[in-house]
Amino acid sequence: MLKQVLFKTILSIITLPIVIGCNNPEENKMSDQTNIIFLHHSTGKRIWRGDVSKIASTLGFNGDVSKWFDNYNKSNNKNFKISETNFPKESPYGWKNYPYDYYNIWVKNAGNKPFNEEPTLEILTAKYDVIIFKHCFPVSNIKPNESTADINSELKTLDNYKLQYNALKEKMLQFPDSKFIIWTPTAQVERKTNKEEAERANEFSEWVKTEWDVKGDNIYLWDFRELQVEGGLYFKDEYADSPNDSHPNERFSHSIVPLFSKRVVDIIEGRGDSSSLTGK
């Protein structure tokens, strides 16, 4: 009898922490990880790093976005895990991430198998809760419309962009449990475009914000373009690498990391339709 009592006592002591651990609401809350993927090329990489140098980033030091999310998680008892990758890769698909390319990979060639080694939305949504994507700045070199719009054309025109964006929206709505965040079209510095192209790019951006994007669905915007142009037509020279280079410089990149990160968090936490598109 004494042995049985001792055995039960020891067993209760051993299992007590396990029971407490399994019912600890804070631990359960932290286990609810939100997985975020940021798909980008060089401009996105600049924002990801902020003012952390390319060399430091290559050596494994966290960029500004990672550090911002680490601090937010610690301060707010959250578990938002954000990662980044080039999309599409330079090979075999090619270094192109314009409206046609997202349409080509995610709509035209949708399915459970990669297309040219690039993940489709079926693959991405199975792994990530939030998918962020953008275009490189040549997206703003928009040419005049042709007589007929063609969804399968790589030609950068307003009509083609709108067809491709509408197809992308229809596709993203098929994944209601995932959230999608699209950057407004990245701007060019004045020397790398012309007034007509820049006006078309602004027109496309306004269409995306006022007509294409609607409240209440799983698709959201970050208005990167407005932060670049501040009401104008061109990426401001003082924010760019140089008047001949439309990449954001380290100072500008660092300054807007909190706006980008806050916008992502606002969307995850249910404020995507009520908070500022720029993150301010």
Chain-centre distance for alpha carbon 217: 16
Q: Are 156 and 193 in contact (CB under 8 A)?
A: no
For the cut 80, the answer to whether the pLDDT of residue 241 exceeds it is: yes
Query: Which of 16-20, 173-177, 206-210, 218-222 is the least confident region?
Result: 16-20
Query: Which of 13-17, 231-235, 242-246, 256-260 is the least confident region?
Result: 13-17
What is the rounded CA–CA span in Å between residue 55 and residue 68?
Answer: 20
For the cut 50, the answer to whether the pLDDT of residue 13 exceeds it is: no
Mean pLDDT of the chain: 90
> Average pLDDT of 247-258?
97
pTM for the model stands at 0.87
Strand, helix or coil for residue 36 = strand
For the cut 80, the answer to whether the pLDDT of residue 124 exceeds it is: yes
Which residue did the predictor score with more confidence, 62 or 217? Answer: 217
Domain over 35-268 is classified CATH 3.40.50.920: no
Residue 258 corresponds to which tokens in the numbers above? 């909190």
Residue 278 corresponds to which tokens in the numbers above? 């720029």
Query: Alpha carbon of 74 to those of 26, 80, 120, 257: distances in Å?
Result: 13, 10, 33, 18
Banded model confidence at residue 273, pLDDT cuts 50, 70, 90: very high
How high is the pLDDT of residue 207?
A: 98
DSSP character for 5? H
For the cut 60, the answer to whether the pLDDT of residue 239 exceeds it is: yes
For the cut 90, the answer to whether the pLDDT of residue 158 exceeds it is: yes
How high is the pLDDT of residue 62?
A: 75
Which ranges of 2-94 would DSSP assign to H, the alpha helix?
Answer: 2-22, 25-31, 42-49, 54-58, 64-76
Q: Are 121 and 175 in contact (CB under 8 A)?
A: yes
Banded model confidence at residue 63, pLDDT cuts 50, 70, 90: confident
Query: Alpha carbon of 113 to those of 64, 84, 106, 164, 174: distances in Å?
Result: 33, 21, 11, 21, 17
Residue 162 corresponds to which tokens in the numbers above? 């709108």
Beta-sheet pairing, 130-133 with 34-40: parallel
pLDDT above 90 covers a percentage of the chain that reads 84
For the cut 50, the answer to whether the pLDDT of residue 10 exceeds it is: no
Residue-wise pLDDT for 181-226, tens only, equals 999 999 999 999 999 999 999 999 999 999 999 999 999 999 999 9
Q: Are 224 and 183 in contact (CB under 8 A)?
A: yes
